[in-house]
Each structure stands twice: as structure tokens, then as C-alpha cells.
Amino acid sequence: MRGKESGAERKKWRESVADFFELPKELLFNLPRTTIIGNVQLYLENYVGIIEYNDEILRLKIRGGEIVIKGKNLTIKNFFSEEIFVEGQINYIEYL
């Protein structure tokens, strides 16, 4: 039956398309993409929103969970609808 595929079948199909066309999977699945420079800068794409923020913790909502960043003097330098740039002493990153 067409149109009655399960979520797992759709995911497998998308993965096959991404592999065939050599596309980054974060584009097809809206996965977060994190770039970390040392322990002083973090750039995150495909986040949904800010859950908690102060100079020692930043909790970001992502599709299917959240990312927790802990450190000292954490500062959000820029943020847009799906991108955020953080500076400070980053000591801990966890995907929940």
C-alpha cells in the first residue's frame, strides 16, 4: 500500500537517498550540527529553542531532546531561528 509506510521505512528511504546523492544527513533529518572550537566556542545549527540560560549553563531544545552545555562565562554571541553561537569556557556538553 502506497502512502502507508512506517516511520522506520521512511527513515531508511531518506538515508538511502542521502547516501546515494552524498548529502549531509542533517539536511534531510533536521539533525543538530555542532561545531566546537577548543573549549571556548560552540556553533549549533538546527536547534529549536532555548530552555535555560545563564553564565554557567545553556540548555537548548533540539528535535527529539536537548543539548546541555555547562561551563563558565557562557555568553550567547548570536542566535537566529535555527543557529546559535556561544562563547565562554565550555567544560561539558551532553545530548539528552
Q: Are 51 and 80 found together in one domain?
A: yes
Q: Are 50 and 82 found together in one domain?
A: yes
Residues 55, 86 contacting (CB under 8 angstroms): no
Residues 41, 89 contacting (CB under 8 angstroms): no
Q: How confident is the model at residue 28 (pLDDT cuts 50, 70, 90)?
A: low
Whether residue 29 is predicted with pLDDT greater than 80 in this model: the reply is no
Alpha carbons 18 and 85: distance in angstroms, whole number: 27
Q: Are 1 and 46 found together in one domain?
A: no
pLDDT of 1 reads 45
User: DSSP code of 30?
Assistant: -
Q: What is the mean pLDDT of residues 75-88?
A: 94
Alpha carbons 29 and 14: distance in angstroms, whole number: 8
Number of domains, the chain: 2
Q: Are 42 and 66 found together in one domain?
A: yes
Full residue range of the structural domain in which residue 3 is found = 1-29
Alpha carbons 58 and 76: distance in angstroms, whole number: 9
Q: Are 3 and 15 found together in one domain?
A: yes
Residues 14, 28 contacting (CB under 8 angstroms): yes
Whether residue 14 is predicted with pLDDT greater than 90 in this model: the reply is no
pLDDT in tens, 46-58: 999 999 999 999 9
Q: Give the N- to C-terminal CA distance of the chain in Å, as an integer.
A: 36
